Amino acid sequence: MGRVNGKIILVTGGAMGMGRTHCELLAAEGATVIVTDMNEAEGQATVDSIKASGGKAEFYPLNVTKHADWTSVVDKIVATHGQIDVLVNNAGILILKQLEETTEEEWDRTFDINVKGVFFGTKAILPAMQKAGAGSIINISSIYGIIGAPMAAAYQATKGAVRLFTKATAVDYAQYNIRVNSVHPGVIDTPMTKDLLHSGDEETVKAILGSTILGRAAQPKEVSYAVLHLASDDSSFMNGSEMVVDGGYTAV
């Protein structure tokens, strides 16, 4: 019996990187995973790989910045499955630039996807969770929503916003038995970071790993286990909390 057996779990940005491994692990642990992304080909590939392993998954195109996408997808899932037990707000982008070189368009795009996307997703899913009297919302922030780093002011501002949005919604919706927690990955080897981690330049890799005391980047699945915990009933007393998965980066 899987740890999230029978749960209906929607993951944003499920086509690639950590979103994909979250979907694969949650499905392997018994959930029906609603894989969503703007990238339809890779999103469908996530579903195909889950089904090939005997899991349950469906793909829906969803741009997290489009309110109409959210209402249409949520309505369809509720009509088909009756409920949504878990939402994983994972989709996000990173723009690495000094502040004075960051354009208004880049600032707005980062906030639209990383923050407004989480707001829209939470707002869209709440009525179904309130009706069910249960739910778990998992917001993917970053260690850069907790501590500072060079070249990422816009990104860090969004991840700090997600961290406190998580606590605000945890406070407001605990009365409906809806738990909201954030996950704060450190340096993870995904398409987002591949150019930096696989640049072949030891100095760049060392700079990116920063104070990660385990001395390496994580594989995406190492973060998926934290998401699995928050999605499962094993985390029934965790609410408004921050799960840091960073190989010790923020410990020193």
Ligand X SMILES: NC(=O)c1ccc[n+]([C@@H]2O[C@H](COP(=O)([O-])OP(=O)(O)OC[C@H]3O[C@@H](n4cnc5c(N)ncnc54)[C@H](O)[C@@H]3O)[C@@H](O)[C@H]2O)c1
Catalytic residues: 155
Helix (H/G/I), strand (E/B), else coil: 88 = strand
- Binding marks (x or -) toward ligand X, 44..73, rule CB under 6 A? ------------------xxxx--------
> Per rule CB under 6 A, is residue 161 in the interface with ligand X?
no
3-state secondary structure 10-73: EECCCCCHHHHHHHHHHHHCCCEEEEEECCHHHHHHHHHHHHHCCCEEEEEECCCCCHHHHHHH
Rounded least distance, CB 112 to ligand X, Å: 7
Instruction: Compute the distance between CA of residue 124 and CA of residue 2 in angstroms, rounded to an integer.
Output: 27
135, 185, 210, 247: residue in contact with ligand X (rule CB under 6 A): 185
Looking at beta carbons only, is 37 or 85 nearer to ligand X? 37
Which two structure tokens, joined as six digits, stand for 45? 């590939």
Stretch near ligand X under the rule CB under 6 A, chosen from 52-60, 88-96, 171-179, 224-232: 88-96
> Per rule CB under 6 A, is residue 24 in the interface with ligand X?
no
Instruction: Compute the distance between CA of residue 188 and CA of residue 11 in angstroms, rounded to an integer.
Output: 18
Rounded to 10 degrees, the C-alpha dihedral 229/37/153/138 comes to: -20
* Residue type at 246 in one-letter notation: D
Rounded to 10 degrees, the C-alpha dihedral 206/209/210/212 comes to: -130
Question: CA of 110: how far to CAs of 10, 30, 161, 249, in Å?
Answer: 22, 33, 12, 24
4, 7, 10, 17: residue in contact with ligand X (rule CB under 6 A): 17
Rounded least distance, CB 90 to ligand X, Å: 5
Rounded least distance, CB 245 to ligand X, Å: 9
> Per rule CB under 6 A, is residue 135 in the interface with ligand X?
no
Looking at beta carbons only, is 19 or 135 nearer to ligand X? 19
Rounded least distance, CB 63 to ligand X, Å: 4
> Per rule CB under 6 A, is residue 193 in the interface with ligand X?
yes
Q: What share of the chain is helix, strand, coil (3-state, %, to 5)?
A: 50, 15, 35
Rounded least distance, CB 221 to ligand X, Å: 11
Looking at beta carbons only, is 88 or 126 nearer to ligand X? 88
Looking at beta carbons only, is 93 or 147 nearer to ligand X? 93
Looking at beta carbons only, is 201 or 236 nearer to ligand X? 201
Instruction: Compute the distance between CA of residue 162 and CA of residue 119 in angstroms, rounded to an integer.
Output: 9
Helix (H/G/I), strand (E/B), else coil: 135 = strand
**Rule CB under 6 A: which residues touch ligand X?**
12-13, 15-19, 37-39, 62-65, 90-94, 113, 140, 142, 185, 187-188, 190-193
